[in-house]
Amino acid sequence: MTDWLTSLQTNTPQEGFELALKLSRKGVEYTQQSDEIQNKLRAEYAKNADSLTLASQVAATHFQTIAAANNYWK
Amino acid sequence: MTDWLTSLQTNTPQEGFELALKLSRKGVEYTQQSDEIQNKLRAEYAKNADSLTLASQVAATHFQTIAAANNYWK
Amino acid sequence: MTDWLTSLQTNTPQEGFELALKLSRKGVEYTQQSDEIQNKLRAEYAKNADSLTLASQVAATHFQTIAAANNYWK
Amino acid sequence: MTDWLTSLQTNTPQEGFELALKLSRKGVEYTQQSDEIQNKLRAEYAKNADSLTLASQVAATHFQTIAAANNYWK
Amino acid sequence: MTDWLTSLQTNTPQEGFELALKLSRKGVEYTQQSDEIQNKLRAEYAKNADSLTLASQVAATHFQTIAAANNYWK
Amino acid sequence: MTDWLTSLQTNTPQEGFELALKLSRKGVEYTQQSDEIQNKLRAEYAKNADSLTLASQVAATHFQTIAAANNYWK
């Protein structure tokens, strides 16, 4: 796979949050590499509240890591 | 998306808790961007105990991050 | 909402544990604000082992935060 | 409720692990205070692999807190 | 119960990972003490992907604790 | 089992992310050691959004550990 993650540093908390969402998606894409199946799954889980919450939990976990990496943007 | 998260600093733990809830909602909104579907899903999961607990878990994870960012408001 | 969380400091670990339970309940109450529905949901999930375990997980996450805030009551 | 948690300090990691299990049980007991229902639920979930795993996750979370409180018994 | 956890220190990350798996199993064994039922449950959940993932999550949580205890084997 | 984890140090965040995915797989492989069953389970859960999200959560937890081990590649 090409380079897609060279640093955990971001300029703002919001960019850090968006990076966390990217890491969440990547965690899935490494396992399910078919774009077609990914799109199909995304269409389904985006309409299910619990699925969205579980995905949001993964992003929250990555955000902890990224926030620590940026010393909480203090 | 416009700026919505410029700092993790809050004046009080309660404001930090409310920011954690906001981050939880944002984690969902980035994935499901339709207001209509969001409202529909919210109405459903707000009546399901386990769905509320799972959402509360995401907020608890974000609260850890925010509390650390504020040095626990000591 | 009125002030309900002004500090994460507690005198003892047990008070910290009880504060963690309070934060867990608050995470739900912000989303489902009807007392009636809350009471109904609580009556149901209190009889389901997995629901109780999931709620206990949220409290454990908040207890981590509160324990750190109190330097583990050392 | 009487005092049941006055310190997170333990002599050994094993005692810390057992304290983590106690905190997990307490998280449930605060919500479901009937001994009769607790015993009934315990009998059921002790025969379900996923229920046991979820309960084990709560204990693992508390063990993190207790291990930190004891400086990892170094 | 006899002594089974006297230290979180291990020589290598791999030994730490294997200790994390042991802690995960112990979390279950304290609650379900029948060897017979344990074996039966293990045979079942080892064939279910989500059950294996949940168990893997518990091990990941314990590995965080053990890695910190060993200063990440730096 | 032969040596497969001698260090948590990686050159880049991306390598750390990929190591996190490896630890996630290993957590499953220690419990389910049959390659045949592993492949069968992987084929199934790779088509289920929630299964992929749960697996992604395990990787996110391991990534926290690895990121800390590498001082967040600062």
**pLDDT tens digits for range B38-61:** 999 999 999 999 999 999 999 999
Task: Supply the pLDDT for residue C31.
Answer: 92
Measured distance CA(B63)–CA(C11) in Å, rounded = 21
Taking contacts as CB-CB distances below 8 angstroms, the residues of chain F near E48 are 41
Question: Are the C-beta atoms of C29 and C38 separated by less than 8 Å?
Answer: yes
Taking contacts as CB-CB distances below 8 angstroms, the residues of chain D near C25 are none
Helix intervals (H) in F11-48: 13-29, 35-45
User: Is the pLDDT score of F25 beyond 90?
Assistant: yes
Task: Supply the pLDDT for residue E1.
Answer: 67
CB-based contact (8 Å) between D8 and chain C? yes
User: Is the pLDDT score of A67 beyond 70?
Assistant: yes
Say whether the B–D interface has 3 or more Cβ pairs within 8 Å.
no
CB contact under 8 A, D63 and E23: yes
Taking contacts as CB-CB distances below 8 angstroms, the residues of chain F near E41 are none
Question: Are the C-beta atoms of A54 and B55 separated by less than 8 Å?
Answer: no
Task: Supply the pLDDT for residue E6.
Answer: 96
- Residue among D32, D45, D64 minimizing CB distance to C46: D32
Mean pLDDT over B12-25 rounds to 98
CB-based contact (8 Å) between C19 and chain D? no
Measured distance CA(E39)–CA(E42) in Å, rounded = 5
Smallest CA–CA distance, residue D31 to chain E, in Å, is 19
User: Is the pLDDT score of C70 beyond 80?
Assistant: yes
Nearest CA in chain A to B45: A49
Task: Supply the pLDDT for residue B1.
Answer: 67
Lowest mean pLDDT among A52-61, B12-21, D65-74, E39-48: E39-48
Measured distance CA(F62)–CA(F57) in Å, rounded = 9
The backbone torsions φ and ψ at residue B25, rounded to the nearest 5 degrees and listed phi first, read: -65, -40
Indicate yes or no: pTM above 0.95: yes
Task: Give the confidence band of A61 by pLDDT, cuts at 50, 70, 90.
Answer: very high
User: Is the pLDDT score of D1 beyond 70?
Assistant: no
User: Is the pLDDT score of A7 beyond 80?
Assistant: yes
Mean pLDDT over E44-64 rounds to 96
> What is the pLDDT of chain F when averaged over all its residues?
96
CB contact under 8 A, D37 and C52: no
Q: Which of A62, A64, A70, A73 to mutate to test the interface with F (most CBs of F within 10 A)?
A: A62
Of C57, D25, B52, the closest CA to residue E54 belongs to C57
